[in-house]
Amino acid sequence: MGRQVHYEVFRRVGAKGGWSLHEVATTREAAITMAQGLMAEEKATGVKVVKETYNDDTGDYLTLKIFEEGHNQMKVAASAEDAPHALPCFKPDDLYSYHARSTIARLLGDFLSRNKVTVTELIHRADLLEKLEATGTVYQHAIQKVAVAQAASTTTPVQQIVKSLNELTTQAFHRVYRDQRKGLFPDPKPEQFGQLAASLAGQGDGPYIFNGALARHLKDASGWDAKVMKLLAVMHQAPKDGAARDLVLASVDAIMAELLGGAAALHELMGRSENLGASLTHLVELFLGKVQDQHHQGLSALSQCFAADELPEARTAIAGRIVAEFKSPKRLCPDSLVDELKTLRRIANRVVLGVGKHMSHDDLVAAFTLRSKRLVTQESLGAYIADAAPDEKMERLLFVEENIIGVENKRLLATFISPIINAAPFDNFFQNPKVPVLQRLQRLGQLQQRALRASFVDVQRQEIATRMDRLAQDVAARGKLFEALEAKTTNHVEKATTLLKLTMGGFFTEGALAAKAREKIIGYLATPGFLAGYMTVAGKTGAETDGAMAGLMADLGKAGITAETGLKSIAA
């Protein structure tokens, strides 16, 4: 059984602020130090560290809080100080609510995975409840975790809450045992569920009885795939409209959401994947309703439902799973940062198509930003550029910039570029006289253009561009580029057109070097006889003159010289 551990640092701002994820660390000490630092720097009024243990076999996380600190206290009215604190649930029916079922799924995830059942099946089947009671430690540990969490925000002793929860769950268990003995839960065939829903619609305990019947119907399913097919068969036999249809669809959708919310079911439905990136890609295709898999009938059938905008709760569960996997520290492609970034971008381009009522845009952006943040580290970037030439190092970092999101992440990435372009090896690489000067200048121009297109902070982007422009000026000066062009010919038309081609070809970095090239071009345009010479070289006469002038103006525009400046400068 493979297990991976990471530590999530949460912070709270304000007296009544909620918890928000701040960072994920790989070691306990780093996480606690980070949390204590937030408190010391007054960046939070409360912090906590949660240990998450990932089980590769089930795909689930075991959550345990290991540290908490805060100096904000909630004000409680004097009249309420001695009032008894409410339990999470008051009566057995409360255990069937959405939030209660979500809590049960989180606390009993291993039990549900081992027995291949959902929460709804568990709380409606007497045999499963008996099996859970027989485990003893699993059942009591779940009760204790709820009690400890509840006691943290109340003055009620943990022992008292444990006692009350035990009484509550015992009542709920005995209710199911009693109803099972009385034969309250029927055993209809798939085509009979519609008739059952019609008879139960509008009754107070109608959903309870209907879900009990569904749980019994799923009992003999051989696996998750079979359960999906059984549920969909019931859904497709639902009445055409009315309260009975609503009951069928709501019950099937809720169970399907529980099924898809657990990683164990998804692992079986989708099969093994090469890595997390491949698994997430498959999951996104399912969410978008684009899966066609002959070997996994349940998955294909689900995909068709999502494409038809059916099973909204189940689809939302898939969206939640996608966001959760993006927030996890597990790499998409552990063996290659390039593959990691390409996969991240490919998935982002696909999943954004599904943003809407089932997936929050803000949650998705936050998840991508967090995953991007984990890639902008000395460890990952250092290994990525270690064996590269100076120019290749910068190009690789610019490739990272194009595939991550988050202003802070890009600001941090720029701090890796600055030392590279200001180091001696970078200068030496571009001052190598064995490489033609135009080849070196073109390479500098290409890198600068990519840097200028990057979404760095304005100040950082300008610093990078300016540094590269200064280096390009030095390369051109040492290579005597402009002097060589000047001496090459006395024909000013040829000089101007040569510089125009170089400027349009990106051989000159933006800044002082490009400005110098434009200044020389304008000087050549102003040379007496330039226009006549240009027309002669172009071979244009008569009506073709206008076309030649239009072409010249277009080239000047591409070189950064306005038509107005060009027309004023051209000498006949």
What is the rounded CA–CA span in Å between residue 89 and residue 102? 13
Q: Which amino acid, residue 504?
A: M
43, 70, 97 - which closes a domain: 70
> How confident is the model at residue 57, as a pLDDT?
56
Would you call 42 helix, strand, or coil by DSSP? Answer: coil
- Segment among 13-17, 47-51, 84-88, 297-301 with least mean pLDDT: 84-88
Task: Return d(Cα 81, Cα 75) in angstroms, integer.
Answer: 10
- Is there a single domain that holds both residue 51 and residue 134? no
Rounded to whole angstroms, the Cα distance separating 143 from 108 reads 10
Angle at 140 between CA 134 and CA 142, to 5 degrees: 115
Does residue 55 sit within a domain?
A: yes
pLDDT confidence of residue 79? 39
Establish if 233 belongs to a structural domain: no
> How does pLDDT run across 448-476, given as a tens digit for each residue?
999 999 999 999 999 999 999 999 999 99
Question: What pLDDT score was predicted for residue 74?
Answer: 43
**Single-letter code of the amino acid located at 118:** T
Average pLDDT of span 36-62: 76
Q: Of 421, 446, 479, which closes a domain?
A: 479
Asked if residue 139 has pLDDT above 90, the reply is: no
State the average pLDDT over residues 524-552.
Answer: 75
Q: Where on the phi/psi map is residue 373: left (φ > 0), alpha (ψ -120 to 50), or beta?
A: alpha
Are 300 and 244 a contacting pair, CB within 8 Å? no
Distance CA 379, CA 381 (A): 6
Residues 69-89 have pLDDT tens digits of 876 544 444 333 333 344 455
pLDDT, residue 77, reads 42
The answer to the question of residue 220 being in a domain is no
| Burial degree of 527 (CB within 10 A; 0-12, 13-18, 19+) | middle
Strands of 20-25's sheet in order across: 20-25, 3-12, 46-55, 61-70
In a domain, 239, yes or no: no
Please name which of 401, 425, 405, 423 lies closest in space to residue 413, comparing C-alpha atoms. 401
Q: Using DSSP bridges, classify how beta strands 46-55 and 61-70 pair: parallel, antiparallel or unpaired.
A: antiparallel
Of the listed ranges 8-22, 314-328, 388-402, the least confidently predicted one is 8-22
Residue 409: name the closest of 397, 423, 392 by CA: 397
Task: Indicate if 427 and 505 belong to the same structural domain.
Answer: no
d(CA 392, CA 481): 25
Instruction: Please tell me whether residues 380 and 468 are part of one structural domain.
Output: yes
| Measured distance CA(399)–CA(5) in Å, rounded | 30
Distance CA 405, CA 341 (A): 11
Six-digit token string for 462: 């300008």
Rounded-to-integer distance, Cα 376 and Cα 327, Å: 15
Q: Supply the DSSP string of 239-282, one letter for each residue.
A: -SSHHHHHHHHHHHHHHHHHHHHSHHHHHHHH---SSHHHHHHH
Q: What is the pLDDT of residues 388-437, one digit of tens each?
A: 999 999 999 999 999 999 999 999 999 999 999 999 999 999 999 999 99
Q: With contact defined as beta carbons under 8 Å apart, do 180 and 172 qualify?
A: no
Q: Tell me, what DSSP letter sits at residue 422? A: T
Give Cβ neighbours of residue 132 (< 8 Å, ≥ 6 apart).
Answer: 108, 111, 122, 138, 139
d(CA 32, CA 23): 11
Residues 326 and 273 in one domain: yes
Q: Are residues 388 and 475 in the same domain?
A: yes
Retrieve residue 287's tokens.
Answer: 């969410």
Tokens 């696996």 map to which residue?
223
Residues 475 and 380 in one domain: yes
Under the banding of pLDDT at 50, 70 and 90, the label for residue 96 is confident
- Between CA 456 and CA 467 the distance in angstroms is 15
Helices assigned H by DSSP within 271-336: 276-287, 297-307, 312-327
pLDDT given at position 467: 96
Of 486, 509, 504, 518, which is closest to residue 551 (Cα–Cα)?
504
In the numeric block, which tokens belong to residue 572?
Answer: 């006949």
Residues 470 and 497 in one domain: no
In the 8-state DSSP scheme, what is residue 56?
Answer: T
Same domain, 101 and 155: yes
pLDDT score recorded for residue 543: 52
Q: Where do we find the tokens 């040492």? A: 478
d(CA 528, CA 525): 8
CB 468 within 8 A of CB 454: no
- Nearest CA to 314 out of 249, 240, 398, 245 is that of 249
Is residue 170, in this structure, part of any structural domain at all? no
Same domain, 470 and 384: yes
Identify the CA nearest to 327 among candidates 384, 286, 285, 365.
Answer: 365
pLDDT of res. 571:
66
Cβ atoms of residues 570 and 532 within 8 Å: no
The predicted-structure confidence for 148-190, as pLDDT tens digits, reads as follows 877 776 777 888 888 888 888 888 899 999 999 999 999 999 8
Q: Tell me: the pLDDT tens digits for 249-304?
A: 999 999 999 999 888 888 888 888 888 999 999 999 999 998 877 677 888 889 89
d(Cα 479, Cα 126) in Å, to the nearest integer? 87
205/253 Cα distance (integer angstroms):
18
20-25/3-12 β-pairing: antiparallel
Say if 116 falls within a structural domain.
yes
Judgement on whether residues 500 and 465 belong to the same structural domain of the protein: no
228 assigned to some structural domain: no
Secondary structure (3-state) at 569: helix
Distance (Å) of CA 530 to CA 283, 427, 496: 65, 39, 10
Within a domain: residue 193? no
As for how many domains the chain has, the answer is 5
Who contacts 546 (Cβ-Cβ below 8 Å, separation ≥6)? Answer: none
CA neighbor of 472 nearest in space, from 462, 463, 481: 481
Select from 213, 452, 567, 71 the least CA-distant residue to 444. Answer: 452
Task: Supply the range of the domain harboring residue 29.
Answer: 1-70
pLDDT of 341 reads: 93
Whether residues 384 and 473 share a domain: the answer is: yes
The verdict on 472 and 556 lying in the same domain is no
Domain end position, chosen among 428, 455, 479 = 479
